[in-house]
Amino acid sequence: MVGVIALATRGGDAPTAAQSTTEPIIPEVSEADIAAAAQQLGPRDQELVNIGQTGVSINRAGGGRKYVALTFDDGPGPDTPAVLAELKKLGVPATFFVIGANIQANPDTFRQVVSAGHEVGVHTWNHKDMTALKPAEQKSEIETAAGEILSVGGVASRLFRAPYGAVDPAVLKRAEDAKLLSVLWDVDTVDWMRPSADQIVQSAVSQAQPGSIILLHDGGGDRASTVAAIPRIVKELRAKGYEFATVGDLVISDPPGADDMSSESRSTQR
């Protein structure tokens, strides 16, 4: 897990007479605590943040190892538990780029993502086109989502994915200021359009290369076809000799080169 920072459980009443008087009272986690924790960088965190050059996003890893990363956007949502169940059966780690408002609406589901050992990344608070926002609004979209990840899940992410893949120098600067590595993708399954499972599998498997970052969704609508496609994607890619890693593990073990990064948007109509 990238940047795991343990936080005390929030809230709690004073001990009753039936409780041990030596039981500690767990303090409330303040916004200042969250902000401070989000800025702490362990060695692995620092390595992730340093991988990207200033003003670029990572589209894929370097291609030196036959590994790919499955990524899921727009959750947590109603289909997230089914996605988690498939990944558990397959023994596959994944990276979930989560929306702050959806964490707030589905905190238990988000904790399931974290407890399963998957990596999480910031996908803003409300899934707005970041390039259309003022700098202060961009900052708020990133920081409020990062704070929700930390306060609900107890982890500090070092990854950021802009909604719609829409980035520009200002957006990339906001990510850099928040000590986040901007991550896009090189394989788009277009599952956001709700194609059949067959089409999703074909898109993922035919486009995958060593180091690929594969875009899928667990939120934002009915993801039944995506859930059905997951075991087939894994089976077919494994048959081709591929293994799976989180984005963080992928890019640390196989750092991207200049051709694997860009300052361009990958905007879609999602």
pLDDT score, position 255? 94
Alpha helices in the chain (DSSP H): 31-39, 43-51, 80-90, 100-105, 107-115, 135-153, 169-177, 197-207, 224-239, 247-253
Q: Interior CA angle at 103 toward 101 and 109, to 5°?
A: 150
pLDDT score, position 222? 96
| Bridge partners, 155 (sequence order) | 4
Q: Catalytic amino acids?
A: 73, 217
Reported confidence tier of residue 43, pLDDT bands at 50, 70, 90: confident
Average pLDDT in the 193-211 region? 97
Q: If we measure between CA atoms, which residue out of 89, 168, 162, 80 comes closest to residue 121? A: 162
Q: Which two tokens stand for residue 140?
A: 């708020």
Instruction: Tell whether the model's pLDDT for residue 51 goes beyond 90.
Output: no
**Mean pLDDT across the chain:** 87
Do residues 230 and 38 make contact, with C-beta atoms less than 8 angstroms apart?
no
Instruction: Give 84's contacts (C-beta < 8 A, 6+ positions apart).
Output: 112, 113, 116, 118
Do residues 256 and 63 make contact, with C-beta atoms less than 8 angstroms apart?
no
Per-residue pLDDT of 173-183, as tens digits, reads 999 999 999 99
Instruction: Tell whether the model's pLDDT for residue 24 goes beyond 60.
Output: no
Instruction: Tell whether the model's pLDDT for residue 74 goes beyond 80.
Output: yes
Instruction: Tell whether the model's pLDDT for residue 32 goes beyond 80.
Output: no
Domains of the chain by residue range:
31-257
pLDDT score, position 70? 98
Reported confidence tier of residue 13, pLDDT bands at 50, 70, 90: very low
Instruction: Tell whether the model's pLDDT for residue 1 goes beyond 70.
Output: no
pLDDT score, position 6? 35
Average pLDDT in the 151-167 region? 95
Distance from C-alpha of 76 to C-alpha of 85, rounded to nearest angstrom: 14
Superfamily of the domain at 31-257:
Glycoside hydrolase/deacetylase (3.20.20.370)
What is the DSSP pairing of strand 67-75 with strand 243-244? Answer: parallel
